[in-house]
Amino acid sequence: MSAPDPPDTPILTFDRVERRYGDDDEVIAVGGVDCTIQSGSFVALVGASGSGKSTLLKMVNTLVTPTAGRVLFAGEDVTEQSQSQLRRRVGYVFQGIGLFPHFTVGENIAIGPRLAGETLSTERISELLTLVELEPDMAARMPDELSGGQRQRVGVARALAGDPELLLMDEPFGALDPITRDALGEKVRELHERLGLTTVMVTHDMAEALLLADRVLVMDAGLLVADASPSELLKGGGGEVAQGLVAVPRQQAEKLAAMEGRLA
Ligand SMILES: Nc1ncnc2c1ncn2[C@@H]1O[C@H](COP(=O)(O)OP(=O)(O)OP(=O)(O)O)[C@@H](O)[C@H]1O
């Protein structure tokens, strides 16, 4: 086994990455992002709907290719890497649930290795289910026999099946109730620490980003407009767009505190 990377090693680099759409490239989904993500960090990518978060994430595992610039994973352009290796080293939790409805839970978890020509053992599937706090016998169930939160746990188990170094999550908890969302967020953060992952999580929810991440990137109209730690953001840093997003949970907390004050 190779020694773990020192904590300041860049695992992911966006080098002037752009993605445009339309006949005349008139839609700028991502308009030139420059950013480096260090190994071991937990990064939240936040921004309004349509700001380019999913497109940026999809360029990491080549679901979308840049129209300009490059994405480097472990120092190498992702478009020049073996796709099966890349999919193994980069786990992806899709927006929404994204399980195949006609496959069992176990088959869903094993799909990545299977596409790479490998069979995941029953023991490994049990281990992955246990990792996300599901019973191993759930492997035989169909996705529609699970709750939304359980399905999303299976999505996380599937992303971890190839023992990835980098975990990408696109709005992983969007469809969940707040309690399940909170529990799953904490679980993912714990797995991030335990498995020594680097994690990039797209979320609309600034409170979630502030609570879970070490670093928050804010996108607006295809551009990165803030790159700050949660404490910097809470102290008022990061600029106008970032502060607009921080204001939402802050105002909610203030309103709740005022209500509590009136009830006391
Ligand atoms: N395949 C596509 N063809 C044309 N335009 C696209 C395509 N994919 C994304 N876009 C456009 O690019 C912009 C960024 O989309 P993207 O999905 O990356 O945003 P997002 O920040 O992830 O949004 P959300 O939070 O709603 O998921 C949007 O204006 C979107 O309409």
Question: Does residue 49's CB lie within 6 angstroms of at least one atom of ligand 1?
Answer: yes
How confident is the model at residue 6, as a pLDDT?
Answer: 55
Mutation test of ligand 1: which of 53, 58, 205 has the most ligand atoms closer than 8 Å to its C-beta? 53
Answer whether residue 239 shows pLDDT above 70.
yes
Residue 5 CB contacts under 8 Å (≥ 6 apart), including other chains: 11, 39, 40
How many other CB atoms are there within 10 angstroms of residue 15's CB atom? 16
Distance CA 114, CA 56 (A): 26
Question: Does residue 65's CB lie within 6 angstroms of at least one atom of ligand 1?
Answer: no
Distance CA 165, CA 167 (A): 7
Answer whether residue 176 shows pLDDT above 80.
no
Work out the percent of the chain whose per-residue pLDDT is above 90. 68
> Of all protein residues, whose CA lies closest to atom 4 belonging to ligand 1?
21
**5 burial level (CB within 10 Å; 0-12, 13-18, 19+):** middle
- Ligand 1 centroid – CA 99 distance (Å): 22
- Ligand 1 centroid – CA 3 distance (Å): 38
Query: Cα 57 from chain centroid?
Result: 8
| Superfamily, domain 10-102+165-263 | P-loop containing nucleotide triphosphate hydrolases (3.40.50.300)
> Of all protein residues, whose CA lies closest to atom 26 belonging to ligand 1?
49
223, 155, 225, 215: which is closest to 191 by C-alpha? 155
Mean of the per-residue pLDDT values of the chain: 91
ipTM: 0.97
> Of all protein residues, whose CA lies closest to atom 3 belonging to ligand 1?
21
Question: Does residue 47's CB lie within 6 angstroms of at least one atom of ligand 1?
Answer: yes
Domain boundaries, the chain: 10-102+165-263
Question: Does residue 2's CB lie within 6 angstroms of at least one atom of ligand 1?
Answer: no
Work out the percent of the chain whose per-residue pLDDT is above 70. 96
Distance CA 182, CA 83 (A): 33
What are the tens digits of pLDDT across the range 211-227?
Answer: 999 999 999 999 999 99
- Ligand 1 atom closest to 56 (CA): 18
Task: Classify residue 112 as left (phi > 0), alpha (psi -120 to 50) or beta.
Answer: alpha
Question: Does residue 55's CB lie within 6 angstroms of at least one atom of ligand 1?
Answer: yes
- Rounded to 5°, angle at Cα 158 from 153 and 161: 125
Per-residue pLDDT, averaged over 113-140, amounts to 92
> Of all protein residues, whose CA lies closest to atom 9 belonging to ligand 1?
29
Question: Does residue 27's CB lie within 6 angstroms of at least one atom of ligand 1?
Answer: yes
The model's pTM: 0.91
